[in-house]
Structure 1
Amino acid sequence: MAGELPQFTRLRGWLRPLWHGIDRGLRQALPGRCGFCLAPAVQERPWCQACFEALPWNLPACPSCAEPQPSGSLAGRRCGHCLTRPPAFIRARVPLRYEDEVVRLVQRFKFHASPRAGNVLLELLELGLPPEALTWPEALIPVPLHPRRARERGFDQADWLARRLAARHGLRLAYAVRRQHTRSQRGLDRAERYRNLRDGFEVRGSLPPRVALLDDVMTTGATLDALAQACLAAGASEVEAWAVARTPLLIE
């Protein structure tokens, strides 16, 4: 899959941001074209078959936290982190790894508010969830941004995904709030991420027994774990964690 056309791979200086801007516009403006390479898309899908098959699918992965596992690992075997410290959610469903074209797609969605990129991510998530998963939750909760960060960014990507997923599948939406403006998780190791988010969320009101949480990218699982704890405190019996992509071991 090509992020740029070959003749533009060596652009430097002012030409490079100009091409990137044109490239983003083309990707968002051409219906019927692949959201990755601009080739003709598969009917009713925003990708071509070649790009779809080349995506970094999250297999094998830990069934508990969806952490990507080395090639050849036994399917269905929990990772060492989950054996020593099980998360508050009962399982994680994350179909893709945060690599290659998925990184670029998420960044266009998250930092440039690209609706085309968002729709591609939403459809990939739907395809990656087994049919029974989409009928399991009695409430769907997007991972909330702190209001200050939402104002700074001007876009809440998890809420955008959750609203559309709920509308498509008749799911009830519920909401949580961040108790404080924690520092960014970026650059923190696993232990620091868990400490940074301890008691970081609150769910106002009571929740039904089965709840699914939704985010765009899952890194160590610390954010979703903290939110799952808040859901259990609000009456949920079982919580699942859903995300589009999971960071590989080497990125953490």
Structure 2
Amino acid sequence: MQTQRIGRDLSGWIERQLRLALPGYCAFCLGEVSFGQAWCGTCFASLPWNGQACQCCGDPLSFAKAMPCRDCVDSPPAFTRAHVPFLYQGQVRQLIREFKFHASPRAGVLLMALFKETLAQCPAEALIPVPLHQKRSQERGFNQAQWLVKELRKTWDIPIIKALRTVDTPSQRLFGRTARQRNLEGVFAITARLPKHVVIMDDVLTTGATAHALALVAKEAGAEKVDVYALARTPRR
């Protein structure tokens, strides 16, 4: 496993060096782009943007007014807001699957570059990646949320605080929203004392059940405000 991780880190470093050293092409259409750019304006604009979304959970809305969705009004999550710039569709979905299930350095670098384009600053005092259970982590050899927060820290120099996943639960993909919440009861633990404002980081936000469960634990550990960052949102409706 250690050898695999070293290989992935080396591949990522090589890819970043090539991007800096060579004239670039758009990562999506292979058209020529300006030096140092990874995509063209046309492809960037055509990505599945999550433009009209609930200001709390990031679920896409059918109206443009910035306000909480009905689910967040009826049953507010433990986190304050979610910053989720893309929908889990099209090119973004393909990149996330390559990154998450195949540890693709190219996909990871590109996704993080896109995400940083949507975030002027990160005002939180600590980053918390959504943890994998030790068994799942050993099987996969890669925790995508951990990789993402390490990349964010390179830009904003914010400390990373690890949470623990103490129970190896069945995959969340098997359940609906309510069942997902029950599946995650008592699953997470944080032993460190947290600052007032923290950010939970994950790759995809679906029902928000994982973020809600981890936010509850974060508040028990001292956090007063918990935000959620994710690359993409799977619409509930």
In structure 1, what is the equivalent of residue 203 of structure 2?
216
Say whether 1:187 aligns with 2:174.
Answer: yes
**Unmatched segments (≥5 aa) in structure 2:** 1-14
Using structure 1 for the length normalisation, give the TM-score: 0.83
- CA-to-aligned-CA distance 1:16-49 (integer Å, 9 cap, x gap): xxxxxxxxxxxx7974222222222344232221
In structure 1, what is the equivalent of residue 11 of structure 2?
none
* Match among 156, 176, 194 for residue 143 of structure 2: 156
Alignment of 1:95-114 (within 5 A): 95-114=85-104
In structure 1, what is the equivalent of residue 10 of structure 2?
none
> How far off its partner does 1:112 sit?
1.2
Q: Is the Cα–Cα contact under 8 Å of residues 64 and 92 in structure 1 kept in the other structure?
A: yes
Q: Is the Cα–Cα contact under 8 Å of residues 35 and 116 in structure 1 kept in the other structure?
A: no
Q: Is the Cα–Cα contact under 8 Å of residues 51 and 60 in structure 2 kept in the other structure?
A: yes
In structure 2, what is the equivalent of residue 58 of structure 1?
50
In structure 2, what is the equivalent of residue 78 of structure 1?
68
Q: Is the Cα–Cα contact under 8 Å of residues 161 and 192 in structure 2 kept in the other structure?
A: no
Runs of 4+ in 1 over 6 A off after TM superposition: none
Say whether 1:171 aligns with 2:161.
Answer: no
In structure 1, what is the equivalent of residue 231 of structure 2?
244
Q: Is the Cα–Cα contact under 8 Å of residues 190 and 221 in structure 2 kept in the other structure?
A: yes
Using structure 2 for the length normalisation, give the TM-score: 0.88
* Number of residue pairs aligned between Structure 1 and Structure 2: 218
Say whether 1:124 aligns with 2:114.
Answer: yes
> How far off its partner does 1:221 sit?
0.5
The one-letter code matched in structure 1 to 2:37 is: R
In structure 1, what is the equivalent of residue 41 of structure 2?
49
**Unmatched segments (≥5 aa) in structure 1:** 1-27
Secondary structure of 2:151's aligned partner: helix
Pairwise CA RMSD:
1.6
Distance 1:41 1:201 in 2: 44
Distance 1:241 1:183 in 2: 23
- Change beyond 3 A, Cα 1:192–1:233: same
* Match among 130, 139, 155 for residue 143 of structure 1: 130
Secondary structure of 2:203's aligned partner: strand
> How far off its partner does 1:169 sit?
1.1
In structure 2, what is the equivalent of residue 90 of structure 1?
80
In structure 1, what is the equivalent of residue 61 of structure 2?
69
Identity percentage over the alignment?
45
The one-letter code matched in structure 1 to 2:204 is: V
Say whether 1:39 aligns with 2:19.
Answer: no
